[in-house]
Amino acid sequence: MSHRALAPLLSLLVACGGAAGSWSEAFDDPGAGSLSGVWGSADDDVWVVGGTDAGASLRHLVDGTWTTVDPPDVALLVWVHGFGRDDVWAVGRAGGMVHYDGSGWSVIDTPTDEDLWGVFGTAPDDLWIVGGAIDRGDPVLLHFDGSAFETVEVTGDLNPRQARALFKVWGTGDTLFAVGQRGLILQLQGGAWKAVSPGQGATDDWVSLWGTSADHVVAVGGRSNAQVGVWDGSAWRTLQPAGVPGLNAVWIGRETQAVVGGLGGWVGTFDPTTDTILAEAPATDVDVHAAWAATPAHVFAVGGSFSGAYAGAALERLEP
């Protein structure tokens, strides 16, 4: 491995200004391509994944310095998740999956060549991977126990909305959700997956989700206009805030503040206790795809364009 120094609710409120944090560029590296996923074990150990048609790219923040890490021979990487400095997983296009053991990245053979959009787990032997082709076939839902994959068929009662893809998976404790196209939300309960209602008006795609506990989860999506979902431990409700573009990124570290990002560099916060969205000053004009933080005071976000020049952006949000 080599390195180089790099249904609308009337109660919904939309506000501008008064941002709690300030966004700025985390690093400038045109060679990274489009950036799609970010995760770390701490503020000083952060991984960013992405790439171009030529293949994946990896950027690593260690002790305040961003470095470029030579990736394995895989297609563009979309999402990254881990369990520590020496145990990191990433998935991407064409069924690509890789693992970092603290000294290098290696390729994991998966049972699919469909695009993989998300990975999450409670332990290295309990990983869930989601994906799909978007315009054909059935969603991909895989479980990896550290040595073998199990495929869950997302058909029939598991796919009442006839979605083609699942985009992200997240959970805590005994609660696990996978979200995807056409408002589809699946919940793992008692060892079995089931489709659950996303709330009235949830007809657009869900792109991502995050939470602070099993009864406090926020999902985001929408293509031209934002769609926001809130899970309270018993049911999902859906909001469609006017004037906010489609959202891709969400990370929540406080009960009252989820950091969100979306089309055209839109960034801001959402308070699930008051249904208030607060727009913050953007630091890029490319779509924001992911956000992550070790603490709410220092949030990382990444984005990019997946066509043309594959422009990317790496951002950080610091609270005063």
What is the residue extent of each domain of the chain?
3-9+27-261
Nearest to 291 by CA among 222, 198, 228, 220: 220
pLDDT computed for residue 236 by the predictor: 97
pLDDT for position 190: 85
212, 230 contact by CB (below 8 A): no
CATH class of the domain at 3-9+27-261 = mainly beta
Nearest to 318 by CA among 289, 302, 296, 286: 296
Give the pair of three-digit tokens for residue 154: 């997302």
d(CA 208, CA 9): 21
Q: Is the Cβ–Cβ distance between 131 and 149 less than 8 Å?
A: no
Dist CA 150 CA 163 (whole Å): 20
Cα 94 from chain centroid (whole Å) = 18
Give the pLDDT score at 288: 98
The rounded average pLDDT for each run of 10 residues, N- to C-terminus, in the chain (320 residues) is 34 43 92 96 97 96 95 97 98 98 97 98 96 96 97 98 98 93 95 95 96 96 96 96 96 96 97 96 96 96 87 92
pTM above 0.75, yes or no: yes
Nearest Cα to Cα of residue 165 among 202, 138, 194: 138
| pLDDT for the residue numbered 20 | 62
The structure tokens listed for 299 are: 């949030």
Cα–Cα distance for residue pair 170/119, rounded to 1 Å: 8
Distances (CA, A) of 81 to 31, 77, 120, 162, 265: 22, 12, 6, 28, 23
DSSP assigned state of 264: G
Three-class SS string for 53-75? CCEEEEEEEECCEEEEECCCCCC
